[in-house]
Structure 1
C-alpha cells in the first residue's frame, strides 16, 4: 500500500472513530435524560452486591409481579397494582438488566434471575408468595417455583413464554443478540432512534388491542432504549429456549396451584405453543383462554387477571 493510500485509510479511520465518539456521546446524553425522566418508583435493594429495584404497595398475602421482555415495574404500576393493593402486599421487581435492576453474571438464565429476586423478596420478609409472571416473566416465575416449591404458594402465568418453541429466532432480536449486532446496533439506536419508533413497536405488542391512553408516557420507553438494556433484553430473548428445554421436563413435579391466562390472539407468544402445553405439563393448573385478547392480557382484561390471582390465593388457602 502506497503512502497516499495509507493516508486516505488513516483519514477514514479517524473519521470513523470521531463518528463513534459522537454517537457514544449522544447515546450517553440521551440515557441520562431518560433516567432523569423515569427514576425508580420504589426502593433500591442491595442483594449480594447487586442493586434490585422493588416497588412495594399494599398489605395482605405477598404477591410478586415479574414483567416481560423490554419491560419494567411501570408496566404494573400503570393500572394493575391499584386493583390489588387493597388485599395483597404487591412486590413488583425489575428483572436483572432491565429497568433499575443491575445485570448479573448469568443474566440470560431465568433460573439465576429467579434466585436473585427470591433473595430480594426474602430481604423484604416475603413469605409463601403468589408469583405472577408475564411473558418472559412467566419463565422466571416457573423457575422460582422449581427452585422453591415448598415456599411458593401459587403461580399465575400471564401470556407466559414457558415452553421450548420450534425453530430458531431470526430477525431483529437475533441480530442484536449476536456479537456483531450487540456491538454495533445499541449505540446507534440509543443515540438516533426517535422515541416514537418505540411507541410504534409497542402498538404491535399490544395488538389487536390499542395501547391504553397514557401508557407510553408512563412506562418510560427510554428506559428500554439504553445501550445495555438493548443488549440484555436481546440476549435474554435469544438465549431463553435452551433453558426452557431444560426446565419443561421438571414442570410435572410442581403440585402447587397454577392459574394460566393467555390471549387467544397472542401472536408474540402463541397459546398453542406455550399455554396449552404448559397446562398439560402441570398437575394442578387451570387454563383460561381469553377470546380476542393479544399479548398484553393484563391490560386488555385486567379483571380476568385479578380474578385469576384471587383464585390462586383461594386455592392456596391464603384467602
Structure 2
C-alpha cells in the first residue's frame, strides 16, 4: 500500500529542508502513534516459534482433520487482517483456515535482510503451520504473497495440494517501482519512514487504499478493520520496502522452474489491475505451466478478493476439487 506520490514528494522536500533538528520530537511522536496503533489493533491469533522468531497466525473454521487446510498469505505492506475482513468468514465453513503474517509484517518477527527472499518466507511459514498439523494445504497468495506461495510449491511440491494466486506477482517485470519504493532505496528512506509514522494523516491512508483498490471502490469499513497503522510503523515500513525492492531478482530466479510445477494452480486476476498487471504475470504464467488455469475478471483491479469475493472463493473451491480433497 504505497503512499500516493504527492505526499511522498512532500515528505522528501521536508526531509531535504532539514527536519533533522526536530528528530527527537518526531521520533517521540512516532513512538506514541505506534503504541496507540498496536493497542487499537492487537494480535488476532496465536504465535508459534520458528528458529527463535515468533510467527503470528490465525486458525479458524473446521477442526483439524475434518476439512482441507487453506493457508492465506497476504500481499505487500499488509497483514492477516486483510483476509479477516471478509474472505476468512466465507471459507471457514468448508475449510480449516490458517491466515499468516509474513515475516517482518503484522505481528511476525523479521529475519532481517534474509526475509527479502520469498523462499525463506515460504520455508518459515511452512515450518510455522506444520506445528499446527498442516501437512498438505491449499496455499493461497495475494499479490506479493503469490510469489511466496509459488516458492512454497517449488519447495514442497508433494506436500502442497494446490496453489491459488489472487492477483499474484509471479513473473519478472520491466520498469521501476513507484516513487515511494525508489525513495526508500536511498538514504532518505529512514527519515521519510519516521515522518510517515509521526505525521501521516487519515486522508493519506484513505488515498493509498483508494489507489490500491482502483478502479473499484474500497468496501465500507475496510480501512477501519485492517489497522493501517500497523503498516505505518517504522519497522514494518522498512521490512516491506526492502522486500518489495528486492523481489525482482528472486522472481527472475524462480521463473524458469515454474514449468516443473505439477499441482493444480488456479489464478484469479483482474484485467484492470495496474499494480500487478495481468498481461505481465497471470497470462504469461499460464503459458508456462500446464497445470495452471486463469479466471480473468473484466474491469477488476488488484483487490479482487474483496471486490469479487465470490470469485475468490470459487477458485479456491475449484483448487480443492482438482486436488481431490
Taking structure 2 as the reference length, the TM-score comes to: 0.91
For the 8 Å contact 1:205–1:296, the answer to whether it is kept is yes
Alignment-derived partner of residue 267 in structure 1:
274
Select 2:45's aligned residue among 30, 37, 42.
Answer: 42
Measured after TM superposition, the shift of residue 73 of structure 1 is: 0.7
Alignment-derived partner of residue 186 in structure 1:
193
Alignment-derived partner of residue 181 in structure 2:
173
Q: Which runs of 5+ in 2 are unaligned?
A: 1-17
Tell me how far apart the structure 1 counterparts of residues 19 and 276 of structure 2 sit (CA, whole Å): 40
For the 8 Å contact 1:56–1:92, the answer to whether it is kept is yes
Larger Rg: 1
Measured after TM superposition, the shift of residue 194 of structure 1 is: 1.0
Measured after TM superposition, the shift of residue 303 of structure 1 is: 0.7
Tell me how far apart the structure 1 counterparts of residues 52 and 41 of structure 2 sit (CA, whole Å): 23
Measured after TM superposition, the shift of residue 70 of structure 1 is: 1.1
For the 8 Å contact 1:195–1:222, the answer to whether it is kept is no
Select 1:236's aligned residue among 220, 239, 243.
Answer: 243
Select 2:134's aligned residue among 104, 126, 136.
Answer: 126
Please list, as runs of the form range in 1=range in 2, the aligned pairs for 1:270-309 lying within 5 A after superposition.
Answer: 270-309=277-316
Considering only aligned residues, what root-mean-square deviation do their CA atoms show, in Å?
Answer: 1.2
Tell me how far apart the structure 1 counterparts of residues 188 and 54 of structure 2 sit (CA, whole Å): 27
Q: Does residue 1:146 correspond to 2:154, yes or no?
A: yes
Measured after TM superposition, the shift of residue 18 of structure 1 is: 5.3
Please list, as runs of the form range in 1=range in 2, the aligned pairs for 1:30-179 lying within 5 A after superposition.
Answer: 30-59=33-62, 60-105=67-112, 106-176=114-184, 178-179=185-186
SS of the counterpart of 1:167?
coil
Measured after TM superposition, the shift of residue 195 of structure 1 is: 2.6
Select 1:203's aligned residue among 207, 210, 222.
Answer: 210
Q: Deviations over 1:85-132 (max 9, x none)?
A: 011000000111111111113121111100100000101110100000
Count of residues in correspondence between the two structures: 303
Alignment-derived partner of residue 26 in structure 1:
29
Q: Deviations over 1:200-259 (max 9, x none)?
A: 111110011111000000000100100011111111111100000000000010000000
Q: Deviations over 1:49-95 (max 9, x none)?
A: 11111011011110000001111111100000111101100000011
Tell me how far apart the structure 1 counterparts of residues 31 and 49 of structure 2 sit (CA, whole Å): 25
Tell me how far apart the structure 1 counterparts of residues 48 and 25 of structure 2 sit (CA, whole Å): 34
Tell me how far apart the structure 2 counterparts of residues 246 and 275 of structure 1 sit (CA, whole Å): 17
SS of the counterpart of 1:133?
strand
Which structure 1 residue ranges, 4+ long, deviate > 6 Å from structure 2? none
Alignment-derived partner of residue 5 in structure 1:
none
Measured after TM superposition, the shift of residue 168 of structure 1 is: 3.0
Taking structure 1 as the reference length, the TM-score comes to: 0.93
For the 8 Å contact 1:62–1:126, the answer to whether it is kept is yes
Alignment-derived partner of residue 255 in structure 1:
262
Tell me how far apart the structure 1 counterparts of residues 20 and 172 of structure 2 sit (CA, whole Å): 42
